[in-house]
A and B are shown apart, each in its own frame.
Chain A
Amino acid sequence: MTQAASLLEVRDLVVEFRTLEGVVHAVNGVSFRIRAGETLGIVGESGCGKSVSALSVLRLIPQPPGKIVSGRVDFDGRDLLQLPKAEMQAVRGRAIGMVFQDPMTCLNPVLTVGRQISETMTVHLGLGREEARRQTLSLLEMVGIPTPELRCDDYPHHFSGGMRQRAMIAMALSCDPKLLIADEPTTALDVTIQSQILELVKRQRDRRNMAVIWISHDLSVIAELADRVVVMYAGFIVEEADVFKLYREPRHPYTQALLDSIPHMDTAGPEELRVIPGSPPDAMSLPPGCPFAPRCTFAFDRCQRENPPLSSAGRDHTAACWVVAAKRKPP
């Protein structure tokens, strides 16, 4: 696929948080791209930089203490990091929609749900009040909220967690974005509601040919809807591959260990779950070599000294690991 076909291309993104205790290296040179209509899953544990990467695309990290040190975010032919504030404002919610993890803190508690959804459309699309309300009702119906004409004038606290997340999705989709960024949108929800939300997003994505960045720590959810997956660890991308390939042949020791540490419900798994010893490194003082080396069972001396770059681990498959790089036979 050529570069021109990318809808969003993030290159060498570096994001830091300068706190009183020191500099937190949240994102350390992350590059990924996404084509129109494609779903990219970003998976990793808390603190791995997955949310910060996605928020930086929209320049939504608080600055200060946050700082986008370097990198480019090309979206539809423009570098979003260079846009003036007003133009950036016009991209957020219009061309790129966003859904967050906790819908309660993202909705304004003193405005009705309907008003918050219409506001997006009056601001970005210049719709009149009547028209915006009509659109809001059809959006609420589309995301599966029963009797929208009654629920439209409810406040967020009248809604359950699942309904709030539906309302957030309605808001994110209201201006027909080309890209939807979803940051752990189902983490706070029950499995039954989670599966409803996943179906809803899949249906809307396919209908609108919308690209989706889905951020999650849950490998099962990513398996459900991603086309391509990026695995992050300590602010670095450690592996990237097609979703089927990644789960079938994970190459990076971290991805392998992660997949082995979760029980598979449909098969009687091993008696004991595989454990990744230790915990992720402190983002204030990253080890000099590979960030996963201290927990890696395959690490050798080079891993302690040098941080491996992403290199080919098969067709359309990259991994940042010296062991993988050493084993890789020429194709």
Chain B
Amino acid sequence: MNDSPVLVSIQGLKKHFPITRGLLLRRQVNAVKAVDGISFDILRGETLGLVGESGCGKTTAGRAILQIQRPTAGTVVFKGLDLTAQRGESLRAIRRYIQMIFQDPFASLDPRWTISRIIGEPLRVHQIGTPQERQARVEELMELVGLDRMFNNRYPHECSGGQRQRIGIARALASTPDFIVCDEPITALDVSIQAQIVNLLEALQDRLGLTYLFIAHDLSMVRHLCDRVAVMYLGTLVELGGRDELYRYPLHPYTRALLSAVSVPDPVKTRSRPRLPLTGELPSPINPPAGCRFHPRCPQATPECQTRTPVWHESSPGHWVACCLAK
């Protein structure tokens, strides 16, 4: 074990989905470049937010990091081990320490399994403990996430959305992971339940020393929860920085537009906020625009932006940006 502050290091990660044509002579005609070369570090014990519009590749990025979908290129180094180079048994062994909480608490739980079987599955898969110890661990996990023990033998359909998400969290925690990718864990929940789950995630992090990659599109919740925030646009990172720095002094025009589009629950403030409207919609990730991918929608684009690909660089300590206009 090393003492480096970096828990997960991602370099040049790409995930392309091929588009093929022809039945017998299948050939690849193009690719959906869902994630197209992203590099960043996730620090031990932090919550890193990954935000962007739908279709920007944030979920695919999370899945590629965990090797749920094998990346097309790039490396993911976790505790000194390159996950992209692992196969079979060695990859299975490492999965114990990297887990995921899914967006849809309805689709991610097997409807025919009891709650205790769902939560205990990672323990069985990784052959942790005896059956009795596993059952005890399941009960401990249920208590940890605030689920009543009477749910033990119930089925997912008997639970509310918030309870299902607690089950998903308990399952992710079962094998005592170090790193959890939370893929929009609160999006499908009601407002009053969202706060319960967010507080639970925070409490668990304090208690168990977890590291989160928190994928979300709710920028208010990200500001509340995350230590650092990365902004993604069309398969690439456009900005990454400390939470307060990024929200106060966004460098990339896309980050600025994204932040200005958020409504706040205060009629006086929200109606007086200056808006930087984004025109148009996300271009296709099959043929992303040349140069800077944001230039067709960028209010500050110069002719140079159409041809020059911006370099991902550290503009000030800890504040990364990819924009030709940002110093």
| Residues of chain A whose beta carbon lies under 8 Å from any beta carbon of chain B | 45-46, 146, 160-163, 190-196, 198-199, 217-221, 223-224, 226, 243-244, 247, 257-259, 261-266, 268-269, 272-277, 279-280
Contacts and interface: CB of A to CB of B under 8 A. Distances in A.
A68 B267 CA distance: 34
Nearest to A144: B279
B160 A279 contact: yes
A232 to B, nearest CB: 13
SS class, residues of chain B in contact with chain A: helix
A277 B200 CA distance: 13
A296 to B, nearest CB: 12
26 contacts: A146-B280, A160-B281, A190-B54, A190-B217, A193-B53, A195-B260, A218-B191, A219-B191, A220-B265, A221-B263, A223-B267, A224-B267, A224-B271, A247-B266, A261-B192, A262-B220, A264-B265, A265-B219, A265-B223, A269-B224, A272-B199, A273-B224, A275-B192, A275-B195, A275-B199, A280-B190
Contacts of B247: 265
A190 B262 CA distance: 10
Contact of B266 (A160, A264, A280): A264
B221 interface: yes
Interface residues of B, number: 42
Contacts of B192: 45, 257-258, 261, 275-276, 279-280
Contacts of B54: 161, 190
A194 B195 contact: no
Interface string B229-256: 0000000000000001001000000000
B199 A191 contact: no
Contacts of A45: 190-192
B193 interface: yes
Contacts of B309: none
Contacts of B267: 223-224, 226, 243-244, 247
B262 A191 contact: yes
Given A163-B281, A263-B221, A223 B265 contact: yes
Contacts of B202: 272
A266 B54 CA distance: 23
Nearest to A233: B192
Nearest to B280: A146
B191 A266 contact: no
Nearest to B247: A265
Interface in B260-289: 260-271, 275, 277-278, 280-281
Contacts of A259: 265
B302 interface: no
Contacts of A191: 53, 217, 219, 258, 261-262
B195 A261 contact: yes
A229 to B, nearest CB: 9
A247 B217 contact: no
A266 B264 CA distance: 8
A257 B202 CA distance: 20
Interface in B175-226: 190-196, 198-199, 202, 217, 219-221, 223-224
B264 A220 contact: yes
Contacts of A274: 195
